[in-house]
Amino acid sequence: MPDSRPGYFSLTYDEPPSLSLEDLDGIGPKRAEHLRSRDIDTTEDLLLFVPRKYRRAARFTTGARAAEANAGYVELCGRIERVNNPPRHSRRPLEVHVVCGQQSFKLLWFNLPYRGFAQKLKAGGWVTFSGEVDWDGGVPSVAHPSMELSKKKPSLPDARVELEPVYVSMEGIPDATLRGALEQAARRLLPAVQDAVPAGLLDRRDLPRIRKALRTIHLLDSNEDRPSFEADLRAARDRLVYEEFYSLQVALANEYVQQRRAARAPQCTDRELGRDLVRRLPFELTDDQKKAAGRLADDLGRRMPMRRLLQGDVGSGKTVVAFLTCAIAIDNGCQAAFMAPTDILARQHLKTARDLFEDLDVSLACLTGSMPEPQRRETLRRLADGSADLVIGTHALFTDDVAFDSLGMVVVDEQHKFGVDQREALLEKGRDPHLLAMTATPIPRSLAHSVFGDLDLTVIRQKPPGRLPVRTFLRTRQSAPDVYEYVRDRIRETGQQAFFVYPLVEESQKAPGRRSAVDSAETLANGPLKGLRVAILHGQMRDEAKSETMRAFAAGDIDVLCATTVVEVGMDVPNATMMVIESPEVFGLSQLHQLRGRVGRSEMQSMCVLLAGYGITDDAEKRLTHFAGTDDGFELAEVDLEIRGPGQFLGERQSGRAEFRFGDLIDDAELLEVARRDARQRILGDAGR
What's the mean pLDDT in 115-142? Answer: 84
- Mean pLDDT, the chain, rounded, equals 86
Mean pLDDT score, 280-286: 90
State whether residue 542 is helix, strand or coil.
Answer: coil
pLDDT higher than 80, residue 405: yes
| Range in 5-9, 279-283, 492-496, 549-553 with the lowest mean pLDDT | 5-9
Distance CA 145, CA 681 (A): 53
Does position 688 have pLDDT exceeding 70, yes or no? no
pLDDT of residue 544: 82
Mean pLDDT is highest, among 170-179, 374-383, 680-689, for 374-383
pLDDT in tens, 55-80: 777 666 678 777 777 777 888 888 99
The DSSP string of 424-462 is HHHHTTSSS-EEEEEESS---HHHHHHHSTTSEEEEE--
Closest CA to 80 of 60, 108, 100, 51: 100
| pLDDT tens, residue by residue, 454-484 | 788 899 988 888 788 899 999 998 999 999 9
The end-to-end CA distance of the chain, in Å, is 33
Residue 583: which pLDDT band, with cuts at 50, 70 and 90?
very high
In this predicted model, what pLDDT tens digit does every residue of 591-633 receive, in sequence order? 899 899 999 988 899 999 999 987 788 888 888 999 999 988 8
Chain centroid offset of residue 617 CA: 22
Q: Which of 177-181, 297-301, 575-579, 655-659 has the lowest mean pLDDT?
A: 655-659
Q: What's the rounded Cα separation, in Å, for the pair 661 and 257?
A: 26
**Residue 498 vs residue 314, higher pLDDT:** 498
| Residue 183 main-chain phi, psi, to 5 deg | -65, -40
Give mean pLDDT, residues 192-204.
92
> What mean pLDDT is predicted for residues 152-181?
78
Instruction: Give me the sign of the Cα torsion angle 328, 333, 334, 340.
Output: positive
pLDDT value at residue 508: 62
The pLDDT assigned to 628 comes to 94
| 547 membership: H or E segment, kind and range | helix 543-554
Cα–Cα–Cα angle for 10, 12, 16, rounded to 5 degrees: 110
**Does pLDDT of 439 surpass 60?**
yes
DSSP label of 173: B
Q: Give the whole-angstrom CA distance, residue 596 versus residue 609.
A: 9
Q: State residue 395's pLDDT score.
A: 92
pLDDT tens column, 502-552: 999 976 645 666 788 999 999 999 999 999 999 999 988 888 888 899 889
Whether residue 81 is predicted with pLDDT greater than 50 in this model: the reply is yes
Looking at per-residue pLDDT, the higher value among 466 and 388 belongs to 388
Bridge partners, residue 501, by sequence: 563, 581
Q: Is the pLDDT of residue 92 over 60?
A: yes
Q: What is the 3-state secondary structure (H, E, C) of 362-404?
A: CCEEEECCCCCHHHHHHHHHHHHHCCCCEEEECHHHHCCCCCC
Question: Exposed, middle or buried: residue 92 (CB in 10 Å: 0-12, 13-18, 19+)?
Answer: exposed
Classify burial at 520, counting beta carbons within 10 Å of its beta carbon; exposed 0-12, middle 13-18, buried 19 or more.
Answer: buried
Residue 2: pLDDT band with limits 50, 70, 90: very low
Lowest average pLDDT, out of 30-39, 215-224, 566-575, goes to 215-224
Q: CA distances (Å), 577 to each of 151, 481, 602, 629, 657, in order?
A: 84, 19, 8, 18, 39
Which residue segments constitute the domains of the chain, with CATH numbers given? Answer: 53-166 (2.40.50.140), 272-460 (3.40.50.300), 471-630 (3.40.50.300)
Bigger pLDDT: 117 vs 193: 193
Give pLDDT, residue 419: 67
| Nearest Cα to Cα of residue 296 among 264, 263, 318 | 318
| Distance between CA atoms of residues 202 and 190, nearest Å | 18
Q: Per-residue confidence at 5, pLDDT binned at 50, 70, 90?
A: very low
CB contact at 8 A, 327 and 273: yes
Give me Rg for the CA atoms of the chain. 32
pLDDT band at 271 (very low <50, low <70, confident <90, very high): very high
